[in-house]
Structure 1
């Protein structure tokens, strides 16, 4: 695999991730790693006709999760190269089908994109978890969910509007469902794992979001979907979040 770290980022985590990934998979296009100064940028992959770009913040590139984050993005690149529907189908088209004729607040629409990213992550991590130990990923989910649950906003007065930047309870509940679905998909949890307690706490904060329903949506994603299968799955989960939830609130 041709992987190059541009700038002053540490090369070892990325070279190690490439070596591990190549034990089972390969990439046809070269990978360029761009280490960014903005800590909020985290990691994401970009795809171009003749190369991939792995964007990562310096904070993430020097963290204990650096190799695992790089490995995850290499898996996204592999899914893109194989033209997996989750990685080549346009999210906007599925959201238009799901929400045509309905008014959706901007916050909820942003959440829909995050849910679509979770579905992509399921398929990427099906690859990463076949070559890498899962302990760090489970700990990462646990710490992220614990932070989000503890950051939930206080119950507002009837005449107030929430202006706090605290974690949004609704998408936190969906994130919890995603974490459980991925972990259960790969048999990573014991029945008494703390992640279950955290997920149920998140669900209690957003009772209109069905934790089990969303977990089922994520867990039931088939290994090798057709474009139609994947589009339907994305449409269904979007409607679940934006329409059924709205009906329950009404």
Structure 2
């Protein structure tokens, strides 16, 4: 794999992530890593015809989660190259289809994009967890959910927040909890007595309009290799379940 790091960061986490990734997978396009000084910059990947770009903050690149964050983004790149339905379906198109004709609060529309990202993350982490130990990822999920339940506004102490919104909205926190449980159950990496279950049920108690078990089931049972049509249907259904079809649903003008 052709990996080029631009910016100030130790190379070890990147090389370690590549070593793990290449035990089972490879990328055709080179990976350009842009290390940014902004500590609030989220770790994210962009895909072009001739390269992938991994954007990562210096804080993230030097954190205890650095290898796992890089490996996760390499997994997204692999899904992009294989043209997996989750990584070619337009999120905007699916959300428009799901919400067409309905008036939905802006915060909920934003949450729908986060749900769509969770669906992509399921497929990326199917790769991540096939080549790397799950311990750090499970700890990450537990820590982020505990932080959200504490309901303390402000940026996440983790460099890459895949679970927590800035204001720890109870409804999306409950969906995030469902995602976390779905991921660990999909790969059978925790026992039923794990603290993550207690945290998830606490999140559900704070958001009675969100059906934790239903969202968990939807995330956990996503087909490994869906057609684009099937994936779009799943994304539309998940979006409608959250924004429109939940109990006590109320709409508001955009």
Query: Would you call these one fold, judging by a TM-score over 0.5?
Result: yes
- Aligned match of 2:113: 113
**Superposition map of 1:211-230 within 5 A:** 211-230=212-231
Q: Which has the larger radius of gyration?
A: 1
Point out which structure has higher relative CO (alpha carbons under 8 A, 6+ apart). 2
How far 1:9 moved relative to its partner? 1.6
Q: Which runs of 5+ in 2 are unaligned?
A: 154-165
Cα gap change, 1:152/1:214 in structure 2, threshold over 3 Å: closer, same or farther?
farther
Deviates more, 1:144-153 or 1:80-89: 144-153
User: Which residue is 2:248 aligned to?
Assistant: 248
Structure 1's consecutive aligned runs of 4 or more residues displaced over 4 angstroms after TM superposition are none
- Is residue 192 of structure 1 aligned with residue 198 of structure 2? no
Per the TM alignment, residue 118 of structure 1 is displaced from its structure 2 partner at its CA by: 0.2
Q: Give a deviation string over 1:188-247, Cα, whole Å, max 9, x none.
A: 1101100000000000000100100110110110001000110000000000001112x5
The residue number in structure 1 matching 2:54 is 54
Distance 1:237 1:152 in 2: 27
Residue deviations 1:47-83 (CA, integer Å, cap 9, x gap)? 0110000111111110000000000000000000000
**Contact 1:145–1:172 (8 Å) recurs in 2:** yes
Matches within 5 A, 1:123-202: 123-151=123-151, 166-202=167-203
Counterpart contact for 1:40–1:57, Cα < 8 Å: yes
For these two proteins, the number of residue pairs brought into alignment is: 238
Aligned position for 2:9: 9
Aligned to 1:70: 70
Q: CA RMSD, aligned part only? A: 1.2
TM-score normalised by length of structure 2:
0.91
- Are the counterparts in 1 of residues 45 and 52 from structure 2 also a CA contact under 8 Å? yes
- Distance in 2 between the 1:112 and 1:187 partners? 27
Task: Provide TM-score, normalisation by structure 1.
Answer: 0.93
Residue 103 of structure 1: CA displacement? Answer: 1.1
State the 1:7 CA deviation: 1.4
- The answer on whether the counterparts of 1:43 and 1:56 sit within 8 Å (CA) in structure 2 is yes
2:36 corresponds to which residue?
36
SS of equivalent to 2:248: helix
- Separation of aligned partners in 2, 1:30 and 1:22: 14
- Consecutive unaligned residues of structure 1, counting only runs of 5 or more, are 154-164
